[in-house]
């Protein structure tokens, strides 16, 4: 079988063009080239661990309207998303492009080799340097946690003002809690309060006979019905979802534990340029405003000051700290030891 040099050259050019449309354009390349490659890819798949909220679908629609790139979203619990990504990586059948998950889980995935470097996005320069970011992940919003009480059963003069007030014997058996022994809001609260308030605080809190649940979205309604008087840790933005119910958010004087939700490119992503473009879009003012309106803080410098008046107190709530990735797994073992 013979082939002319001109035919070989034509095929080589075609192969080069195909690779250019699939491979991510380098960090030093003009961002316009990334956008062009993303449009050729025509699609981006988001694996989201934030289930049942309208915020990222709204941002996805905005992205599609601007760039004409389809966004497909798969939602599941953080552990389920992480396992799906691990399985796809192990079988060589990667379908997702962007991971949208808590910072701790994202960091663990990077340690397991499930992510690839994002090679830089222009809007990353807008981030506040006090929040963790790396060549693999960066935050798109801040979610902080407080205390929720039944406003009818717990009058203002009886409400806790500090985390340590939850140790009062009057709360024994009356607190529903996200599981403090697992990744998520519960694990985040344990990690931060363990560091700031010590083991003694948690040993005394364990004696309060907390009712652990993983169905955290049901907890506010159970408090509103009077099954429990207090829920911890309560995601502050969710207060907007329960208006009209007899519930009151208490912002503890010590501050609020928080996590960031981060984005990252999955290793072997089929649409790597669209992934980078989408991640960059999350940090635009219009996308950040979607999160702000939902009561979530922004890691972008100066954005919290632009929040609507109705949520400004929520997004500017005092922050107590966030989990340290390197110690998180050991702390969860400690939590299992305390909360048997």
Render 13-59 in DSSP notation, one character per residue. Answer: HHHHHHHHHHSPPPTTS-HHHHHHHHHHH-EEEEEESSTT-SHHHHH
Q: What's the average model confidence in pLDDT over 10-33?
A: 54
The reported pLDDT for the residue numbered 15 is: 38
The reported pLDDT for the residue numbered 326 is: 84
pLDDT at 22 over 60: no
Q: What's the average model confidence in pLDDT over 276-297?
A: 96
**What are phi and psi for residue 64, nearest 5 degrees?**
-65, -40
Instruction: Note whether 195 and 321 are within 8 A (CB).
Output: yes
Strands (E) in the chain, as ranges, are 43-48, 70-75, 98-102, 115-116, 138-150, 175-178, 211-213, 230-235, 247-250, 256-266, 319-321
34 vs 27 pLDDT, higher one: 34
54 vs 38 pLDDT, higher one: 38
16 vs 162 pLDDT, higher one: 162
Q: What's the average model confidence in pLDDT over 39-57?
A: 91
DSSP state of 228: -
Residue 86 CA to residue 105 CA, distance in Å, equals 12
The reported pLDDT for the residue numbered 14 is: 42
Residue 163 CA to residue 166 CA, distance in Å, equals 6
Coil, strand, or helix at residue 144?
strand
pLDDT, tens digit, 9 for 90 and up, residues 270-282: 999 999 999 999 9
**SS percent in the chain: helix, strand, coil, step 5:** 45, 20, 35
Residue 253 CA to residue 222 CA, distance in Å, equals 25
CA 122 distance to own-chain centroid: 21
The reported pLDDT for the residue numbered 23 is: 58
pLDDT, tens digit, 9 for 90 and up, residues 60-73: 999 999 999 999 99
In the chain, % of residues over pLDDT 90:
79
State the chain's mean pLDDT as an integer.
90
Q: Give which of 143, 123, 129 is closest to 49, Cα–Cα.
A: 143
Residue 90 CA to residue 88 CA, distance in Å, equals 6
pLDDT, tens digit, 9 for 90 and up, residues 207-224: 999 999 988 889 999 999
pLDDT at 8 over 80: no
Q: What's the average model confidence in pLDDT over 228-240?
A: 94
Residue 265 CA to residue 115 CA, distance in Å, equals 6
Q: What's the average model confidence in pLDDT over 320-334?
A: 91
DSSP state of 300: B
Q: How far apart are the first and last CA of the chain?
A: 73
> Which residues, 6 or more positions from 261, have their beta carbon under 8 angstroms from its beta carbon?
50, 100, 101, 102, 103, 139, 140, 141, 143
Q: What's the average model confidence in pLDDT over 74-89?
A: 90
pLDDT at 1 over 70: no
Confidence of residue 235 (pLDDT cuts 50, 70, 90): very high
Q: Give which of 64, 27, 68, 65 is closest to 272, Cα–Cα.
A: 27
Q: What's the average model confidence in pLDDT over 21-48?
A: 83
């Amino acid at each position: 079988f013979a082939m002319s040099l001109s035919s070989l050259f034509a095929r080589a050019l075609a192969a080069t063009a195909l690779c250019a449309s699939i491979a991510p354009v380098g960090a030093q390349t003009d961002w316009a080239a990334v956008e062009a490659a993303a449009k050729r890819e025509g699609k981006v798949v988001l694996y989201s661990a934030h289930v049942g909220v309208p915020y990222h679908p709204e941002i996805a629609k905005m992205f599609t309207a601007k760039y004409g790139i389809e966004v497909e979203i798969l939602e599941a619990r953080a552990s389920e998303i992480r396992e799906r990504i691990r399985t796809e990586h192990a079988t060589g059948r990667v379908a997702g492009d962007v991971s949208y998950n808590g910072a701790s889980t994202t960091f663990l995935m990077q340690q397991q080799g499930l992510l690839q470097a994002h090679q830089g996005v222009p809007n990353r320069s807008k981030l506040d340097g006090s929040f963790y970011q790396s060549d693999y992940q960066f935050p798109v919003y801040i979610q902080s946690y407080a205390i929720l009480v039944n406003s009818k059963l717990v009058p203002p003069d009886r409400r806790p003002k500090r985390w340590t007030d939850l140790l009062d014997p009057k709360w024994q058996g009356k607190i529903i809690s996200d599981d403090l022994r697992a990744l998520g809001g519960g694990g985040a609260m344990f990690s931060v309060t363990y560091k700031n308030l010590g083991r003694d605080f948690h040993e005394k809190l364990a004696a309060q006979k907390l009712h652990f649940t993983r169905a955290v979205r049901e907890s506010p309604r159970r408090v509103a019905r009077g099954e429990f008087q207090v829920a911890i840790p309560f995601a502050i933005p969710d207060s907007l979802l329960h208006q009209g119910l007899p519930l009151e958010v208490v912002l503890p004087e010590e501050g609020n534990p928080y996590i960031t939700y981060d984005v990252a490119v999955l290793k072997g992503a089929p649409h790597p340029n669209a992934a980078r473009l989408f991640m960059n879009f999350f940090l635009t003012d219009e996308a950040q405003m979607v999160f702000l309106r939902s009561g979530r803080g922004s890691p972008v410098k100066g954005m919290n000051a632009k929040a609507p008046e109705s949520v400004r107190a929520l997004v500017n709530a005092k922050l107590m700290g966030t989990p340290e990735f390197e110690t998180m797994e050991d702390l969860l073992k400690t939590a299992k030891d305390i909360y048997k």
